[in-house]
Structure 1
Amino acid sequence: MLAILRDTGLGYILGLFSPTRDQTLYLEPTSLIWQYQRHEAPNGRRGVPQNCITVTDRSAPNRSSHPSGRNSQLSERDGDFVDKIEEGTRDNAVGWYGLDDPENPLNWSKSKKAFVSVQIFLLNTFMYMGSSIYSPGIDDVMKEFGVSKTVATLGTSLSLLGYAIGPMLWSPMSEVPRLGRNSIYILTLAGFLLLKLPIVLANNIEIILVFRFLTAFVGSPAQATGGATISDMYLPCNRSYGLGLWELSTWIGPTLGPLVGGFAAQAKGWRWTIWELIWINSAMFLLIFCFLPETSASNILYRRAKRLRRESGNESNHSESELESLDLSKKELAYTTLIRPFKLCFQEPICLLLNTYTSLITGLLFAWLESLPLVFGGVYGFNLGQVGLAFLGLLVGSVVAYLIFVVWFFAFAARKFDDLGYSKPEERFIPLMAGCIFVPICLFVFGWTSRVGIPWIVPVVGSGLFSLGGFSLFVSILNYLPDAYPEYAASVLAGNNFIRCTFGAACVLFAAPMYEKLGLQWASTLLGILGAVFVPVPFLFYFYGDRIRGASVHALKDY
C-alpha cells in the first residue's frame, strides 16, 4: 500500500508535512536510492551505475538503434520482463536503476497496473457521462427559461466542444516532466467540480451554456490522456487489454448519462442531473487523489533526479527529459505544448484520415442518440426514466464487444507479437474490419423497426449493434495511433479526440431538425448510408498501411 501512496497526491501532501519535509512518501525512500547508488538492487540483483544509464524518459521508445527497429524499453512476454538498456550519451543523465527498477511503470505488478487501469476507466466514464446526463432535463430547461429546443440543446453541444478543445491543452501539458499526468488529473477534476456549482445555481440559460462548456474543457484530460496513461504501463502486446477497457468507458459514459439522469430529471428536475454528476465525481476525486500513482516516466525520473541532487549535493544530476527541456527555448516549449497536437492532427496523412473516420462515427452516434427519446418516448410512450433504461442496449452491447475483443486478442492476435512485444501496427485493424459494418446495419435496423406494432425490445437489441461497430472502431484506431506515433501518444490521441468531439458537437445541433423533417426511418437511413461510406477505411489501412505510414513524417516506419 505504501508503494502506491508514495507516488499519489495524498503521498505528496503527507511528504510535505513529514517531520523532515523530505517528501519521502512522494518520491522514493533514501535507502532505496543509495542501494542503487551502490549497485545493489533490493532483490539481490546488481544494479547499474546511475551515471551511465540513459533510458528514454518518455513512455514510448526511440526505435532507431535496435537492429529490429526497437531501442531501450522494458519488454514483456509471458509476464517476464527483459530490460534493454544502452549506455547513455550524456553524463549524469538519471535513468532507471538496473534491470528491474520497481519505479518503472513497465515493471509494476499486474495487480497494480490493473488497479490503475480501473481508476482511469472510472474517471473517463464519469467525466464523459457529463456529456449526456444533461439531455433528459432539456425539456425542463426549455420550460424554466423559456428557450427553444435548439438553444437548450446547446448545453450538450457546448459540452462536447469543451471535451474537444480541452485535451489539446491538457494532454501535451501532461508530457511536461515537471507536471506529469497526476497533477493534471487532480487539478482539472477539482476545477470541474467547482465549475459545476454555478450550473445548479443558475438563474438564466447563459450561465448554463457558458459553464457547460467550461466544465467540459477543464474536466477533459481523461478523454485523451487516459490512453497515454495506459501506454505508460504496458508494451503493445499487453496494452490492448488496458486500452480496450479505457475505450469501453468512452461508450459507457455517454450511454450511462441518460440512464442515470432520466429518473433524476423525472423526479426532481434538470438540476438534479448535475447534482448527481457532482456527487459521483467528488467520490472519484477522492479515489484518484489517494490511490492513483504517477505513470509518466519523464515525471518519475525528473523527481528522482531532483531527489538525487538534494541527497548527493551534486547539481549536475538531471533526467534526460530535463536536459532536453533545458535546450528548448520558450518558443520551442510553447510549440511542443500547444502547436504540435494541431500540427499532427492536420498535417499527418494517418491522423487526418483516421480522425475523419472516428469523427464521422462519433457524429453519427450523438446525432442518433437524439432519436432515442423520440422513439421510446414518442412511439412507445416511455417516461423519462424508462427512456434512460432504453440506453441499456448500447451499454450491454459495448460490454459484449469488449469481452469478444479480449477473447479474440488472447486467442489469436497475441501470437503476432514478437519476442520484444511488438507487431506490425496495421494488425490493429482486424477488429475494425470485422465490426465496421455493424454501425450502418444498426442504423437501418433501428430506423425501420421503431414503429407501432413492433415490440420495443427489437430496437433496443438493434441499438446494441452500434456498440459492436463503434467499439471495434475505437479499439483499433486508439491502439494503432500510439503504435504509429509512440513518442507523441498523448498529442495524437488529443488530436483524435478534438476532431471527433467537435464533429459530434455539430451533429447534436442538426439531429433534432433532421429527424423532424425526414422522420425516424429516413433520417436513420441517411445516417446509415454515411456510415457505410467509410467501411473500406480499415481494409485500406490493413493492406496499404506501410505506404501510408511512409507518407507521414512523424510516424514510425521500421516495423
Structure 2
Amino acid sequence: MTTSSSVTSASPSEDDKTVHDPAGDSTSMAHHEAYPTREASDHEKTMLAAYEGHDADIPSNEGYILDEAGELKRQQSMASRKRHSVSSHGQSPKQDVEKGITTISSQERADSNIVWWDGPDDPNNPINWSSWLKTSNIILVSAICFVTPLASSMFAPGVPQLMAEFHSTNTELAAFVVSVYILGFAFGPMVLAPLSEIYGRLPVYHVSNVLFVCFNIGCALSTSLNMLIGFRFLAGIFGSTALTNGGGTITDIVSQEKRGRAMSFFVIGPLIGPIVGPIAGGYLSQAKGWRWVFWLLTILGGTFTILCLVFMRETYAVIILERKTKRLQKETGNMDLRSKLDAGLSPKDYFLRSIVRPGKLLIKSPIVLFSSVYIGIIYGYLYLLFTTFTPVFEDRYGFSSGSVGLTYLGLGVGSMSGLALFAVLSDRLLRSKTEAANAKAEAEGKPTPGMMPEYRLPPMIYFSWLIPAGLFIYGWTAQYRVHWIVPIISTALIGIGNLAVFMCIQLYLVDAFTIYAASALAANTIIRSIMGAVLPLAGQKMYNVLGLGWGNSLMAFIALACTPAPWVLTIWGERLRKRFEIKGL
C-alpha cells in the first residue's frame, strides 16, 4: 500500500536522508525524499528536554541522548518488539524469501521503517501551526500558570477568619493550611510528568484542570480544618501540572529564536501569582469571607478549564508521531515501523526516571544536595513571611484584612526587579567570564575551557547577601514599629535576592547535569517544596520566644552563613562534578 506519509531515515542522532523502497512490491512503503534539516546538537537537546521537564534520555521534539546503558536498553526493547511483531503477524520480509520478497540489510530496513514528519511544512507538526492556534495555546497555559500559583497565597489574609470560625488557636495549623498547598507541588510532578510523556500533555492538562476545580470546591465547602488541609494538598498536586508541563508546551510550538518572549510571558504568572493573590484575597475575604477565595479560584479555574477543552491541542511531537506510526502500521501492515522519537521506553521506565532519579542525585551528588538545601531555606523563608504578614501588619500597624494584602507588594516588586536585573546581567556576565577564561587559556597554550556551568553563579554572588540584609531590617523595624513602608521595602530586598538565587541555581543545575538536568531540578523542587511547607510551621513559635527582631535575625544569620555557597561552587564546583560524576542513573 502506498502512503502519503513521510518515512525518513535516521535515528535521532543521524542526519535525515532519502529513503528508497527496498522491497519493490505493493506491500512495501513508497519512497519519499526527506527534507534536509540540521540535526539538533546535544546541548540543544539537553536544553529543550530541561524546558519540557524531563531528562534528555527521554525523547523531546528534537530527539534524545542516551548513555551506554540507555542505548543497550533501547536496543533490547526494539528487539523485543520485533520478536513480538513477527510472532503476532507472521514472518518478517527478510525471512520470507520464498514469497519473492528481496532480502535487505538491517540498516536499510531500519532506515525505511522510521516515521517522521511529511516535510518541513507538515501541518501536523506543532511548530507549523497557525499563529492564532499557537497564541491561544500559549495564553491558556500561561493563564493556568497564573491561577494555580495564585492559589498558593491568596488564602493567607483570610486565615484569622478561618481559625475563628473553626474555634482553633493552633498557630501551626494556621500556617500549615497555607503552606500545605506547596507540599502538593513537591509530589505532583513526580506522577504527572511521566504521565504526560506516556499519554501526551493534553489529557493530563484536562484531567488536572478538572480536579483542581473540584478540590477548590471542596475547600470552599470544608467543615473542618483537616478537611480543608486535605483538599488544599490535593489541589496543590493537580495545580502543579501547568507549571510542570507549561515550558514544554511552549517549546513544542515556538521555534528557538522566538522562544524567549513566549517563555517570558509564561514565567510572569508563577512570579506574580503568589504576590497578587494576597492582595485580592485580603479584600475578598474582608468583604465576602474566606470561603469566597476558593469560590473565585473555582470560577477562574473552571473558566480556563472549559477554554482548554475547546481550544487546546496536543503539542508533544513524541505522542503525535506515535499515533501516526500506529496509523501507518494499520494501513500498511508493516509492524516494524517506529517513530523517529521512539526511545524504546516503557511506562515503568518513565516512572523510575521521574521518581527514583531525583533521590539518587540527592544522595550521590553533593552539588545537588547543597544547592537544594540552600534554595529550600530561602523558599521556606518566603512562605514563612507569607504566613506572618497578616499578624504583623494587622496587630502592629492596624491594617485591615483587606489592606494587609497590599504588604505583599514589596516581595512582588523585589522579585520583578530581580528578574529584570538577572535578565540584563546573566548572559553578559556569562560571555565575559567565558571570553576571559578562553583568552587566559590561549595565552598559556592550554585548551580553551569554553562555557563552564560555574559561570552562571556571579549574579548569585552579587545579590544573595540582600536576603539576610532584608531579614535584619524587616525584623527590627517591625519590632520597634518603624513606619510600615520600611519593613515593606526590606521585603523587596529579600525578593531581589530570592530571585537571583533561584534563577542562578536553576541554570547552574541545567548546565552541570546536562542529560540528567530535569532530575536535578526535580530533586531541587522536592526539597524546596517540602521546606517551603514545613518551615512556616515553626515561625510563630520562634517569634513568640525570640520576638520579631531576634527571630528574623536568627533567620538572617542562617542565610548569611549560606552566602559563601556561590563562592564555594565557583572554586570547587568543577572538581566536585568530576569527583562525583553521575553516570548510568
Q: Which range, TM-score by smaller chain?
A: 0.7 to 0.9
Counterparts of 1:347-426 in structure 2 under 5 Å? 347-409=364-426, 413=430, 423-426=451-454
**In the alignment, does 2:538 pair up with 1:510?**
yes
Q: 1:60 to 1:393 in 2, by over 3 A?
A: farther
Q: 1:464 to 1:333 in 2, by over 3 A?
A: closer
Residue 527 (structure 1) aligned to one of 555, 570, 574: 555
For 1:112 and 1:504, the matched residues in 2 are separated by 37
Q: Which residue of 2 aligns with 1:306?
A: 326
Query: Once the 2 structures are TM-superposed, how far is the Cα of residue 509 of structure 1 from its aligned partner?
Result: 0.9
Q: Which residue of 1 aligns with 2:473?
A: 445
For 2:335 and 2:219, the matched residues in 1 are separated by 49
Residue 219 (structure 2) aligned to one of 188, 192, 199: 199
Query: Once the 2 structures are TM-superposed, how far is the Cα of residue 136 of structure 1 from its aligned partner?
Result: 1.6
Q: 1:93 to 1:348 in 2, by over 3 A?
A: farther
For 1:120 and 1:375, the matched residues in 2 are separated by 35
Q: Which residue of 2 aligns with 1:160?
A: 182
**In the alignment, does 2:79 pair up with 1:92?**
no
For 1:445 and 1:334, the matched residues in 2 are separated by 45
Q: Which residue of 1 aligns with 2:277?
A: 257
Q: 1:485 to 1:92 in 2, by over 3 A?
A: farther
Query: Once the 2 structures are TM-superposed, how far is the Cα of residue 363 of structure 1 from its aligned partner?
Result: 0.8
**Which letter does structure 2 place at the counterpart of 1:126?**
V
More divergent stretch after superposition (280-289 vs 521-530):
280-289
Post-superposition Cα deviations, 1:285-321, rounded to whole Å, max 9, x if no partner, equal 2444444454434223323323433454433221245
Q: Is the 8 A contact 2:219 2:227 kept in 1?
A: yes
Classify the secondary structure of the residue corresponding to 1:390.
helix
Residue 147 (structure 2) aligned to one of 126, 144, 154: 126
Counterparts of 1:105-254 in structure 2 under 5 Å? 119-149=140-170, 150-176=172-198, 179-229=199-249, 248-254=268-274
Q: Is the 8 A contact 2:181 2:236 kept in 1?
A: yes
For 1:281 and 1:303, the matched residues in 2 are separated by 30
Residue 285 (structure 1) aligned to one of 290, 295, 305: 305
Q: Which residue of 2 aligns with 1:276?
A: 296
Q: Is the 8 A contact 1:262 1:385 kept in 2?
A: yes
Q: Which residue of 2 aligns with 1:481?
A: 509
Q: Is the 8 A contact 2:8 2:112 kept in 1?
A: no
Q: Is the 8 A contact 2:149 2:273 kept in 1?
A: yes
Q: Which residue of 1 aligns with 2:22?
A: none
Q: Is the 8 A contact 1:360 1:503 kept in 2?
A: yes
Counterparts of 1:60-71 in structure 2 under 5 Å? none
Classify the secondary structure of the residue corresponding to 1:462.
helix
For 1:508 and 1:46, the matched residues in 2 are separated by 61
For 1:415 and 1:185, the matched residues in 2 are separated by 41
Q: CA RMSD in A?
A: 4.0
Query: Once the 2 structures are TM-superposed, how far is the Cα of residue 132 of structure 1 from its aligned partner?
Result: 1.5
More divergent stretch after superposition (331-340 vs 122-131):
331-340
Post-superposition Cα deviations, 1:417-470, rounded to whole Å, max 9, x if no partner, equal 99xxx9433332232222211111111121122256632222222211111111
Q: Which residue of 2 aligns with 1:464?
A: 492
**Which letter does structure 2 place at the counterpart of 1:296?**
Y
Q: 1:244 to 1:182 in 2, by over 3 A?
A: same
Structure 1 spans left out of the alignment, 5+ residues: 1-29, 66-86
Q: Is the 8 A contact 1:549 1:555 kept in 2?
A: no
Q: Is the 8 A contact 1:180 1:294 kept in 2?
A: yes
Q: 1:123 to 1:533 in 2, by over 3 A?
A: farther
Classify the secondary structure of the residue corresponding to 1:324.
coil
For 1:349 and 1:106, the matched residues in 2 are separated by 39
Query: Once the 2 structures are TM-superposed, how far is the Cα of residue 407 of structure 1 from its aligned partner?
Result: 2.9
For 1:343 and 1:370, the matched residues in 2 are separated by 33
Residue 335 (structure 1) aligned to one of 328, 331, 352: 352
For 1:115 and 1:410, the matched residues in 2 are separated by 30
Classify the secondary structure of the residue corresponding to 2:344.
helix
**In the alignment, does 2:557 pair up with 1:536?**
no
**Which letter does structure 2 place at the counterpart of 1:403?**
A
Q: TM-score, normalized by length of structure 2?
A: 0.73
**Which letter does structure 1 place at the counterpart of 2:323?**
R
Q: 1:215 to 1:445 in 2, by over 3 A?
A: same
**In the alignment, does 2:461 pair up with 1:433?**
yes
Q: Is the 8 A contact 2:7 2:113 kept in 1?
A: no
**Which letter does structure 2 place at the counterpart of 1:379?**
R
**In the alignment, does 2:34 pair up with 1:47?**
yes
More divergent stretch after superposition (267-276 vs 139-148):
139-148
For 1:64 and 1:423, the matched residues in 2 are separated by 22
For 2:496 and 2:183, the matched residues in 1 are separated by 25
Query: Once the 2 structures are TM-superposed, how far is the Cα of residue 482 of structure 1 from its aligned partner?
Result: 3.1
**Which letter does structure 2 place at the counterpart of 1:399?**
M
Q: Is the 8 A contact 1:247 1:474 kept in 2?
A: no
Q: Is the 8 A contact 1:191 1:218 kept in 2?
A: yes
For 1:116 and 1:236, the matched residues in 2 are separated by 17
More divergent stretch after superposition (300-309 vs 386-395):
300-309
Q: TM-score, normalized by length of structure 1?
A: 0.76
Q: Which residue of 1 aligns with 2:316?
A: 296
Structure 2 spans left out of the alignment, 5+ residues: 10-16, 20-31, 46-56, 68-107, 436-449
For 1:404 and 1:137, the matched residues in 2 are separated by 33
Q: 1:63 to 1:544 in 2, by over 3 A?
A: farther
**Which letter does structure 2 place at the counterpart of 1:408?**
L
Post-superposition Cα deviations, 1:506-533, rounded to whole Å, max 9, x if no partner, equal 1121111112221111111111111112
Query: Once the 2 structures are TM-superposed, how far is the Cα of residue 497 of structure 1 from its aligned partner?
Result: 1.6
Identity level (%):
33
Q: 1:498 to 1:60 in 2, by over 3 A?
A: farther
For 2:498 and 2:354, the matched residues in 1 are separated by 30
Query: Once the 2 structures are TM-superposed, how far is the Cα of residue 323 of structure 1 from its aligned partner?
Result: 5.3
Query: Once the 2 structures are TM-superposed, how far is the Cα of residue 410 of structure 1 from its aligned partner?
Result: 6.3
For 1:360 and 1:192, the matched residues in 2 are separated by 28
Q: 1:90 to 1:476 in 2, by over 3 A?
A: farther
Q: Is the 8 A contact 1:224 1:494 kept in 2?
A: no
